[in-house]
């Protein structure tokens, strides 16, 4: 028991020594902080903005109307309007980007070439005059490396209902890599 009593006595003397130091620290803190005051500058004065009212002269000049957002569409059909009454061919069901030219069959010294086009693991034959792609594309030429076609689509600017014509090509795939070759 003597050892535990000695331990308690040492612990109490240590605590008593700490008590006196706390008073000194408190006194020093009070003296040091007497002259300290926070200096926050006042907030700047808010200036009111002038009130401007909208005085539109009718619906046509309303900046929030839907007619201002959409371009004005003009009536017209254009001379390049596709024939909607003809039966659609099988290769018109696929977008042009999904069609792959994998080969060309040459007949009559290149005059009657047939393109071998692969889509969804099925190979199709197409010749000059056949349609392919979803933009009413018609094959205009077949060479050993590419198929050229003319597509008919609505005016891309959206400002008219006219049909425009654009050229497109389908490049022959490189056999080893499966990527388009050529240009």
Q: What is the mean pLDDT of residues 71-89?
A: 70
Q: Which residues contact 168 (CB under 8 A, 6 or more apart)?
A: 96, 133, 135, 137, 148, 149, 150, 151
Express each pLDDT in 14-63 by its tens digit: 766 665 567 788 888 888 888 777 788 888 998 888 888 766 655 555 66
The three-state secondary structure class of 13 is helix
Beta strands per DSSP E along the chain: 100-105, 114-119, 122-127, 131-132, 137-142, 146-154, 163-171
Q: How far apart are the C-alpha atoms of 130 and 89, rounded to whole Å?
A: 8
pLDDT attached to residue 183: 41
The DSSP 8-state label assigned to residue 82 in this structure reads: -
| Alpha-carbon distance values, 125 to 31, 86, 120, 176 (Å) | 99, 20, 14, 22
What average pLDDT does the chain have?
Answer: 78
Q: Which of 26-30, 63-67, 87-91, 148-152 has the lowest mean pLDDT?
A: 63-67
Max mean pLDDT among 35-39, 76-80, 146-150 falls in 146-150
Q: Which residue has the higher pLDDT, 112 or 176?
A: 112
CATH code of 78-171, in short, is: 2.30.30.830
Q: Which of 129-133, 162-166, 174-178 has the lowest mean pLDDT?
A: 174-178
């Amino acid at each position: 028991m003597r050892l535990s009593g000695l331990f308690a006595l040492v612990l109490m003397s240590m605590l008593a020594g700490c008590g006196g130091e706390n008073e000194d620290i408190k006194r020093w803190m009070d003296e040091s902080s007497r002259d300290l005051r926070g200096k926050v500058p006042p907030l700047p004065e808010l200036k009111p903005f002038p009130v401007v009212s909208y005085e539109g002269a009718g619906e046509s000049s309303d900046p929030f109307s839907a007619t201002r957002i959409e371009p004005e569409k003009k009536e017209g059909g254009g001379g390049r309007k596709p024939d909607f009454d003809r039966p659609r061919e099988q290769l018109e069901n696929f977008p042009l980007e999904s069609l792959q030219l994998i080969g060309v069959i040459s007949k009559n010294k290149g005059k009657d070439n047939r393109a071998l086009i692969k889509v969804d693991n099925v190979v199709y034959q197409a010749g000059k005059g056949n349609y392919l792609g979803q933009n009413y594309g018609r094959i205009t030429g077949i060479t050993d490396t590419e198929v050229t076609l003319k597509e008919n689509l609505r005016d891309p600017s959206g400002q008219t209902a006219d049909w425009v014509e654009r050229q497109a090509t389908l490049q022959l795939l490189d056999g080893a890599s499966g990527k388009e070759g050529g240009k």
